[in-house]
Homo-oligomer: A and B are copies of this chain.
């Protein structure tokens, strides 16, 4: 994997690097909006002021460009799952931070979320192998953490796989379904307060279900706004 990136990085060239990043950014946005089959190389090239022939000089094919975009998104996506095991003895803190982090990701990088969602909804025809290779072990690690918490009496026994699926869904929806959500909230686009309301509800529901002790968990710490 990433053989192209390494081969190109042998000689470091800042101008080249910048155009390559511009192409990846434009491709991400367009693939997110219209899917792999709905975007042409010409379309992407025009966005960065290059020709499609030039674009094919930087990336060997349309599919390889698409793979590079998804690879970068999955890096970030998995980093949130890895963070769960950073709190090996505090389920509440781990879950609060996962929810806040994913919601911040949905707010700050909605196209990253959407390009990945687009691929998965389509049945992951191109990224299938990489998802299998990287997401399965990440989920197993998190499930192991949930199980250890339950053994230690730190939380209720839960089905960690379906809990993670619910967390994926309920946080990503604010990026992937932003068009419908902003419609039903009757505002041109989602605002910080909408993400805060989402965070309150999701944290409340998850902690009520997972934690043993408190009937009414502490209110959310507004952590979605940390980096605003």
Binding site for B on A (CB under 8 A): 32-39, 114, 117-118, 120-125, 128, 131-132, 135-136, 139, 158-159, 161-163, 165-166, 168-170, 172-174, 176-177, 179-181, 183-186, 197-198, 200-202, 204-206, 208-209, 215
Asked if A33 contacts B123 (CB within 8 A), the reply is yes
Q: Is the CB of B185 within 8 A of A120?
A: no
CA distance A15 to B204 in the complex (A): 54
Query: In the complex the two chains form, is A180's CB within 8 Å of B131's CB?
Result: yes
For the complex formed by this chain, how many copies does it contain in all? 2
Q: Which residue of B lies closest to A167 (CB)?
A: B170
Across the interface, do A122 and B208 meet the contact criterion of CB distance under 8 Å? Answer: no
A208 to B158, CA, bound (A): 15
B120 touches A176 (CB 8 A): yes
With A and B bound together, what is the CA distance between A123 and B117 in angstroms? 12
Is A120 a contact of B180 with CB atoms below 8 Å?
A: yes
Chain B nearest CB from A150 CB (Å) reads 14
Chain B contacts for A174, CB-based, 8 A: 165
Q: B180 near A170 (CB under 8 angstroms)?
A: no
- The winner among A170, A172, A215 for most chain B CB atoms within 10 A is A170
Q: List 17 additional contacts besides A165-B198, A169-B169; criterion CB under 8 Å.
A: A34-B36, A34-B122, A114-B121, A117-B176, A118-B118, A120-B176, A120-B180, A131-B179, A136-B186, A161-B184, A162-B201, A166-B173, A168-B173, A169-B170, A205-B205, A208-B208, A208-B209
